[in-house]
A and B are shown apart, each in its own frame.
Chain A
Amino acid sequence: MSLPARVTTLVIAFLAVVAGGIFFALQYVGAQPPVEDYTSAASNGQVNVTLMTTPETTISDRPDWVSYFIKNPSSGQFVHTTYFKVPANTQVNITILGYDGCTPLRNPIWGHVTGTFTQTGQKNAEDVQIFDGKALSAVTPMSTMDSWADCSVQHTFAIPGLGLNVPVASPPTEKENNALCALGPCVGATADEGNAPHSVVTFSFRTPKNGGTFRWQCFVPCGGGYVDGNGGPMATLGYMMGQMEVQA
């Protein structure tokens, strides 16, 4: 080939490689699920965050996986993400709507609540209500749940960096566990949508003064079909684990 032809081929090849690299970097390496920003929803030193757990994720490309959803503070929709942002030095009141059924924990210590306080000021406890398909039970503070002896824990919400561990209560009877929500997110009014048996768990904790990024995860082996139950959704960001960003 002549010199100009060679130089042209070279330049084209170079641009192709650079374009490929940039594409790869943006597409794979830099990608991240959406972050639900609760910083502007805070008032009086408190902010209310709502999460949901579902047995299926019908809106995603992995419909059989369990997943968390986070409610967007402005639109009120449940978004399929596990990233949220809260302000620093604030009391965070979390409500988790637990639509999944129970699974035994690998290590029962994660059935013990740590790092929280309830609205009534009880430390290391969570407030639990169960909706059995018809009515919502009374608020019951709980601090330890035995996932082996009872059908009591569906997932956990744990922030190890803050010493926080909250087992999300599960509808406790066999009948309820066979009538779970068949969607993700579980919204709607029918018996297998938003009105399926679920738990309502509330607890509060305080974010530290300095900012930072804190990972959170579930400790229930809900990765069905994977060795030890810790694969699949348990090991994928956006399903059973995520990040809480504390903005100083």
Chain B
Amino acid sequence: MAAEASSPAAPAAGTSGGRRDGLWLLIIWIGLSIIACLLVALVWGPHMPPGAQSESAASQQKDITVLAVIATPVIIGVLLYFGWAIAFWRQKPGDETDAAPVHGNTKLQTTWITLTSAIVLSLAVYGTYELIAPAGAGAGEGPQPIWKPAGTVAQTSFNCQSPTAAPTWKPGTSNILQVQVIGQQWAWTYRYPQFGCFETTELVLPVGVPVQFNVTSLDVIHSFWPYQLGVKADANPGVNNVAYTTPQHVGQFTVRCDELCGIWHGAMFDYGKVLSDSDFMSWAQSTQTSLASVTKILPPYALTYDPTVLAKVGKVNEDLGLTSAGGGYYNPADPEQP
């Protein structure tokens, strides 16, 4: 990178004679970079955020480590160069002359451009690989996801007529566990369509199986961020945002809202759990039973919800004109909206 810069045109007035700046810089840079890269990769790498509690988190950890290893020589190079300049290339007091003029060096410029382009393009390729391989790297893919966990199928219809019906998911099949994440101002709720479509305020997941999050919002934009699982998917009203991950370790994780959604955005967090498969099944089945009466009053399971238009309300509500949970955005005196 910091190759010798031959001064082309003007006579070499003031080239520092004996010290081979270029060579020394190169040697020190390579030496420091090797040490630092090893430290980053081997010492810091295993502790790199976001940890390895899930497959997407682990792949992100690897990806961030690779980026850090590539960034390290760049940072060291630039800082070393500037430090060297301050140390050795200062104007001596009393010297009013200018330095030897160098307008450019085509070879150096071409090398720099080629090298930086190569690094950047390979990072783009690597990043794309790390995005595709672990089923979308935990990022929200929108309503039509294209990178899904291999060997899984997503169930599309659910029987929620009877809240106590038998669950339609169990570990070890190719049917992917679906968890709907509903963001509302200012709490998260989670719906499990394969377990009678019950809805809870606690997120519980089984270990070692792929999970599909269907993230949506009831009002403004939120963002579902279970940090240790390496998943982030914005919750948009009227949109189903799908993200995948596979939890790998039992334990607790934090779920935070990552998109400013109003005054309590900072307080919109809760804690989730990854349990063993059998513990998860017993939790799910017991919750399905205990919340059966609540599931009856929930709207049918759908990928998005629009509470502004309520399909069916009771007679008293109809008589009172309460056919919407929309807040009456339009002034009641205004004519009907389309």
- Min C-beta distance of B92 to chain A, whole Å: 39
Residues A151 and B297 in contact in the complex (CB < 8 Å), given A105-B325, A106-B307, A107-B307: no
Is B52 an interface residue, CB under 8 A from the partner?
Answer: no
Q: Does A87 contact B (CB under 8 A)?
A: no
A105 to B325, CA, bound (A): 6
Tell me if A102 counts as interface (CB < 8 A to partner B).
Answer: yes
Size of interface on A: residues with Cβ below 8 Å to B: 47
On whether A215 and B313 interact (CB within 8 A), knowing A109-B189, A146-B297, A160-B186, the answer reads no
- Separation of A233 and B137 alpha carbons in the complex (Å): 40
B322 proximal to A (CB < 8 A): yes
Cα A163 to Cα B187 in complex, Å, equals: 11
B115 to chain A, nearest CB (A): 50
**Interface residues as binary, B154-191 with A (CB distance below 8 Å gives 1, 0 otherwise):** 00000000000000000000000000001011110100
What residues of chain A lie closer than 8 Å to B27, measured between beta carbons?
none
**A106 CA / B79 CA spacing, docked (Å):** 55
How far is the CB of A106 from the nearest CB of chain B, in Å? 4
User: Which chain A residues in 137-167 approach chain B with CB under 8 Å?
Assistant: 143-144, 146, 148-151, 158, 160-161, 163, 165
Per-residue B-contact encoding for A216-248, CB less than 8 Å = 1, 0 else: 010101011111111100111100010000000
Let me know if B310 is at the binding interface, CB within 8 A: yes
The residue on A at minimum CB distance from B311 is A148
User: Provided the pairs A150-B316, A228-B219 are in contact, do residues A103 and B185 lie with their beta carbons within 8 angstroms?
Assistant: no
> In the complex the two chains form, is B314's CB within 8 Å of A227's CB?
no
CB distance from B186 to the nearest CB of A (A): 6
Is there a chain B Cβ closer than 8 Å to A61's Cβ?
no
- A109–B199 CB distance below 8 A: yes
**Cβ-neighbour of A227 out of B182, B294, B329 (below 8 A):** B329
**With the chains together, A109 CA to B220 CA distance in Å?**
18
Residue tally, chain B, CB below 8 Å to A: 41
Interface of B is mostly: loop
Across the interface, do B187 and A225 meet the contact criterion of CB distance under 8 Å?
no
**Do B316 and A217 touch (CB < 8 A)?**
no
Known: A146-B297, A148-B310. A221 touches B316 (CB 8 A): no
Contact between chains at B325 and A106 (CB < 8 Å): yes
Give the residues from 43 to 93 in chain B that come closer than 8 angstroms, CB to CB, to chain A: none
- B293 interface residue (CB < 8 Å to A): yes
Interfacial chain A residues near B297, Cβ < 8 Å = 108, 111, 144, 146, 148-149
Assembled-state Cα–Cα distance A114/B312 (Å)? 26
The residue from B220, B263, B316, B322 contacting A228, defined by CB atoms under 8 A apart = B220
The answer, among B319, B324, B327, for a CB contact under 8 Å with A223, is B327
CB contact list, A88-128 vs B, under 8 A:
101-109, 111-112, 114
Q: Do A228 and B317 touch across chains, with their CB atoms under 8 A apart?
A: no
What are the residues of chain B within 8 A of A151 when measuring CB–CB? 314, 316-317, 320, 322
Write 20 A-B pairs (CB below 8 A) sorted by A numbering: A102-B320, A103-B322, A104-B325, A105-B325, A106-B219, A109-B294, A143-B293, A144-B293, A149-B314, A151-B316, A158-B187, A217-B264, A221-B307, A223-B327, A226-B327, A227-B327, A228-B218, A228-B220, A228-B308, A228-B329
Q: A165-B201, A226-B329, A234-B185 are known contacts; what are 18 more A-B pairs with Cβ within 8 Å? A: A106-B307, A107-B182, A109-B189, A109-B201, A112-B291, A114-B201, A144-B294, A148-B317, A151-B316, A174-B316, A215-B264, A221-B325, A225-B328, A228-B185, A229-B326, A229-B327, A230-B185, A230-B220
The chain A residues found within 8 Å of chain B, CB to CB, are: 101-109, 111-112, 114, 143-144, 146, 148-151, 158, 160-161, 163, 165, 172-174, 177-178, 215, 217, 219, 221, 223-231, 234-237, 241
